[in-house]
Amino acid sequence: NSMPIASPVRTQAIVNRYFMHAKKNLGQNFLVDLPAIKGIVEAADIQPGDQVIEIGPGIGSLTEQLLLAGAKVLAYEVDQDLPEILNNELPQKIDGEELKDRFKLVMKDVLKANFVEDNDGFLDLSKSVKIVANLPYYITTPIIFNLIKSDLDFSSLTLMMQKEVAERLVAKPKTKEYGPLSIAVQSRMNVRLAEEVKSTSFMPRPKVDSAVVVLTPLLEKPDINDYAFFDHVVKMCFAQRRKTLANNLKTLIKDKDEREKLINDLGLDVRVRPEELTLNQFVQLAHLLKDRQA
């Protein structure tokens, strides 16, 4: 079959042939926009021989393009209707290789992944992998934090998500999107917005537009030794985002003078609002608070 799975005609044919219906509770919105998919493959900079872990291959629209770009793909999926479709519809020969030598499907919730065990020698996990996914949107942030916490050696995460979430991930200080999620992610990874994708590129159409974000390891890690404490401090600072930082710090420091001294120690005005602080200022703030506790 020469038409890509991502073409609307081929997708519709697959839907008809297998009596498929997209499962909303699994976040199934299939991409039917080949240029958008090629945009993902390009954002991930897929080269022949690359090792990819894909989350949620669906009917294989993105998987197919990853394979054609030369990748070897380990994929996580939970919908039991899909193995048959993927095995039948993905190209049976890629660069002269059998599908089974280039594609392995793990039927498992990616949030419960044990990458080494699940991989079972398919990819060479002593070398780095790239994560690529058109995510199930209902679990976007748990998936991101799970991947960051895992001991997988990955060189990048290229993830399609809901545009609003993407905007929060890349947000800079002094914008309304900037908040605990921006800071939690930016304190762990480099974040770049690669492409925006309209809801009309999916079947069925989601209610929201989407965007592709590329996360790569930080070259220079911020000076954070206790991420749980750091995340907690940031959350407290934004508990009431319209109020000043001083006001939000009330829960952590009872005494007003002490609160104001701490803010001055950061070189900030006592009327500063949480969204005005840079990542580094939050890092310093967490250190000062930790020192106070000690």
Q: Which of 265, 274, 189, 175 is nearest to 233 (CA)?
A: 274
The amino acid at 216: T
Q: What string marks each residue from 137 to 176 as x (binds ligand SAM by CB under 6 A) or -?
A: --x-------------------------------------
- Choose between 119 and 187: whose C-beta lies nearer to ligand SAM: 119
Q: Cβ neighbours of residue 241 under 8 Å, at least 6 residues apart?
A: 179, 273, 274, 275
The pair of structure tokens assigned to 103 is 């594609």
Instruction: Write each residue from 30 to 69 as x if it is in contact with ligand SAM (CB under 6 A), else as -, in one continuous string.
Output: xx-----------------------xxxx--xx-------
- Enumerate the H helices of the chain as residue ranges: 8-17, 34-43, 61-68, 82-89, 99-102, 115-119, 140-149, 163-170, 180-186, 227-237, 245-248, 256-265, 279-293
Q: Which is nearer to ligand SAM, 203 or 234 (CB)?
A: 203
Any residues with CB less than 8 A from the CB of 115 and at least 6 apart, and which? 53, 125, 150, 152
- Work out whether 28 is an interface residue with ligand SAM (CB under 6 A): yes
Tell me the residue nearest to ligand SAM as measured from the CB. 56
- The two tokens of residue 106 are 């793990």
26 touches ligand SAM (CB under 6 A): yes
**Of the listed pieces 74-82, 116-124, 177-185, 270-278, which binds ligand SAM according to CB under 6 A?**
74-82
Residues 77-136 that bind ligand SAM (CB under 6 A): 77-79, 109-111, 134, 136
List interacting residues with ligand SAM (CB under 6 A): 26-31, 55-58, 61-62, 76-79, 109-111, 134, 136, 139
